[in-house]
Amino acid sequence: MTTQSTQKYEPGTHPDLPPPFTASGPVKWVRENLFSSPANIIMTLLAAFALYKMVPGMFSWAFTDATFLAADRNECRALSSGACWAFIVQRWELFTYGFYPEAERWRVNLTFVLLLVVIVGLLWENCPGRKWIIRFSIIFPFLAFWLIMGGFGLQRVTTDQFGGFMLTLIIGIVGISLSLPIGICLALGRQSNLPIIKYACIGFIEFIRGVPLITLLFVASTMLSYFLPPGTNFNLLLRVLIMVTLFASAYMAEVIRGGLQAIPKGQTEAADAMGLKYWASMRLIVLPQALKISIPGIVNTFIGLYKDSTLVIIIGLLDPLGIGQASLADNKWQGLSTEVYLFVAIFFFISCFAMARYSLYLERKLDTGHRN
């Protein structure tokens, strides 16, 4: 880039000028990032070679040589040498709905569409009709419960018929939307001046963190019935939801406590000095800042919770992984574990990656140029 001759001005008369045009473009980027030094050149070439060796093979296995329609494994093998997606295609509904009655699946679909609307409305600030969506989001949980469980005019569906992605989403979304508020309360409680609240919170957090989730799930599936009065039939899915939520809440509480500690004492002092009450100062001053710095940790906990939902397989709930395992036992489709696990992995990756990207977007949006 040639620089224009810079004009001279009398002192004090210099006008505001637009910033200089910085050179950019693909060639420059490549030179600066891929070929800037001998070591960099070697790395670039090695990486390119590795990609060249791996990508075409993977691509043809997954797409060009793959079979999408076949009656069983043998037919797949006869048709081509690549992946046998026919299995997934055939079991698609099982993977999605579990054993939810076929005639009622529209209810799940409808709930899912409404869920998407609510998520978009809540997370996207400029969404049209956001005000209405936010109001709707308050009744949505009840509506979703009714649609999925039935009753009041809809055919009842029992929770042991749930499975697949639907189950993962139920556990993930209930866990995520409850663990954040519970975690906030626990984190605030842990800092309370009232010893009873403080030690109750500490005890809870440390107990839950000190026990593996699987143990909690076993407790949920078996032991709770000993503690509860005889005759109470406490739904297994509900128990799992409670345990998963509590587990994530304990982690969430610690993540948020970290954020709370990072807020300078002057912030609460300024709020106090203005006459704001404790809850107002928490809600308006401290939490917005603490949650903002905790976003990476919060989303990390969300992602952990979401993936941990696969552990329910151990107590007999059939999430996508469970469905996959059960399906692999089918004689007609032996030896397809790569396809099944890859498929499930892609599902989880897409959801988790979306959460991670959203958290980055949020961090950037909330950045107000403040540096401590």
Partner 1 sequence: MNTETQKVQHELGDVAIKIHEMHKWYGSFHVLKDINLEVQSGERIVVCGPSGSGKSTMIRCINRLEEHQKGDIIVDGTELTNDLKNIEAVRREVGMVFQHFNLFPHLTVMENCTLAPIWVRKTPKTEAEAIAMQYLERVKIPEQAHKFPGQLSGGQQQRVAIARSLCMNPKIMLFDEPTSALDPEMIKEVLDVMIELAREGMTMICVTHEMGFAKTVANRVIFMDAGQIIEQNEPNEFFNNPQNERTQLFLSQILQH
Measured from the CB atom, the residue of 71 and 280 that comes closer to partner 1 is 280
CB 194 to partner 1: min, Å: 14
**What is the contact surface with partner 1 in residues (CB under 8 A)?**
264, 266-267, 269-270, 272-277, 280, 284-285, 288-289, 292, 366, 368-371
CA torsion 136→138→141→144, rounded to 10°?
-20
Three-state helix/strand/coil letters over the chain? CCCCCCCCCCCCCCCCCCCCCCCCCHHHHHHHHCCCCHHHHHHHHHHHHHHHHHHHHHHHHHHHCCECCCCCHHHHHHHCCCCECHHHHHHHHHHHHCCCCHHHHHHHHHHHHHHHHHHHHHHCCCCCCHHHHHHHHHHHHHHHHHHHHCECCECCCCHHHCCHHHHHHHHHHHHHHHHHHHHHHHHHHHCCCCHHHHHHHHHHHHHHHCCCHHHHHHHHHHHHHHHCCCCCCCCHHHHHHHHHHHHHHHHHHHHHHHHHHCCCHHHHHHHHHCCCCHHHHHHHHHHHHHHHHHHHHHHHHHHHHHHHHHHHHHHCCCCHHHHHHHHHCCHHHCCCHHHHHHHHHHHHHHHHHHHHHHHHHHHHHHCCCCCC
CB 359 to partner 1: min, Å: 17
Measured from the CB atom, the residue of 153 and 266 that comes closer to partner 1 is 266
Measured from the CB atom, the residue of 208 and 291 that comes closer to partner 1 is 291
Euclidean distance between the first and the last CA atom of the chain, given in angstroms as a whole number: 37
* CA 155 vs CA 80, 242, 329: distances in Å: 44, 25, 31
Measured from the CB atom, the residue of 295 and 328 that comes closer to partner 1 is 295
Measured from the CB atom, the residue of 163 and 259 that comes closer to partner 1 is 259
CB 368 to partner 1: min, Å: 4
CB 266 to partner 1: min, Å: 4
CB 258 to partner 1: min, Å: 17
Measured from the CB atom, the residue of 67 and 289 that comes closer to partner 1 is 289
CB 105 to partner 1: min, Å: 44
Measured from the CB atom, the residue of 219 and 276 that comes closer to partner 1 is 276
CB 365 to partner 1: min, Å: 12
CB 275 to partner 1: min, Å: 4
Measured from the CB atom, the residue of 270 and 354 that comes closer to partner 1 is 270
* CA 354 vs CA 298, 348, 350: distances in Å: 14, 10, 6
Measured from the CB atom, the residue of 44 and 268 that comes closer to partner 1 is 268
* Lookup: tokens for 155: 């055919």
CB 366 to partner 1: min, Å: 7
Measured from the CB atom, the residue of 132 and 279 that comes closer to partner 1 is 279
Backbone torsions φ then ψ of 58, nearest 5 degrees: -65, -40
CB 189 to partner 1: min, Å: 19
